[in-house]
Structure 1
């Protein structure tokens, strides 16, 4: 995987992700008793753990509240979780301040219009292969995989590779 030139100049310390369409395929399933279920790719989880093991923070900001999402993020050890958020810039700014980071230390991965404002603000923006046209146009990099199918793992490996090369 070739590391994008812009990413090589940055020291990414935080990756923020959307959930539906990024960590999942964007589909929401309901059982007969009304319970929501989602499908998460194990490879993405391993990629996120690799980031955490290498002292790169991971956060999730999602427009939907979901027990399935909360459970998966807890399993992965992700501490910065914001669910049911309509304006994603607010928690982004709070988290950036809390972690004492600059925009250029943050990467964001999204797939749809609610992700656009953060993608235009962070140091490095990443889109999944099946993102909407506006997100694809705004992204600094587009991964080869679709959301929920190893896209996050691809982004994690790229960030790890870039951070290793820049040190």
Structure 2
């Protein structure tokens, strides 16, 4: 981990995540009655719980409205869930202001064009290998794992390690 990335990760007090493409692989599965399904990774869930236990406030900011996202957030104890927002940069800044966090204390993980303003504003911007190029270019780091396949866990581990002085 570079010194710059370590310093950025060490300062994170609020970490926000997009859902589709970050917390999931980005696929949408529809049942016969039109209900949508999302698949979440249990490794990611454990990483999120560990990150919260380390003192980092967690948030979800997503462009879709989904009962499944609300349920997953509740299961993980994530209180700050912002759904139905394409203006993710504005939403992230408003949440940070509400919680009294400066930009350098905020991390954001996203994978597509609507995420770019939030990635550009956050002190720590993370993305995944299967993200759109615009999101990867805005990120300070790209995980080795794809969204929905342990990328969130990798992000959590990075922040926890940095907050512990680089000790894994």
Q: Identify the residue that residue 119 of structure 1 maps to in structure 2.
A: 119
Give the superposition deviation at 1:55.
Answer: 1.0
Give the superposition deviation at 1:135.
Answer: 1.1
Deviations 1:99-133 (A, max 9, x none): 11111111111110000001111111001111111
Q: Identify the residue that residue 6 of structure 1 maps to in structure 2.
A: 4
Structure 1 outlier segments of 4+, above 3 Å: none
Q: Retained in 1: the 8 A contact 2:108–2:122?
A: yes
Instruction: Give the distance between the partners of 1:142 and 1:130, measured in 2 at CA.
Output: 10
Q: Identify the residue that residue 39 of structure 2 maps to in structure 1.
A: 39
Instruction: Give the distance between the partners of 1:151 and 1:37, measured in 2 at CA.
Output: 20
Q: Retained in 2: the 8 A contact 1:4–1:141?
A: no
Instruction: Give the distance between the partners of 2:62 and 2:36, measured in 1 at CA.
Output: 16
Report matched runs for 1:12-27 at 5 Å: 12-27=12-27
For structure 2, the 5+ residue unaligned runs are none
Q: Identify the residue that residue 82 of structure 2 maps to in structure 1.
A: 82
Q: Retained in 2: the 8 A contact 1:20–1:26?
A: yes
Q: Retained in 2: the 8 A contact 1:112–1:131?
A: yes
Q: CA RMSD in A?
A: 1.1
Give the superposition deviation at 1:4.
Answer: 3.1
For structure 1, the 5+ residue unaligned runs are none
TM-score where L is the length of structure 1: 0.94
Q: Identify the residue that residue 158 of structure 1 maps to in structure 2.
A: 158
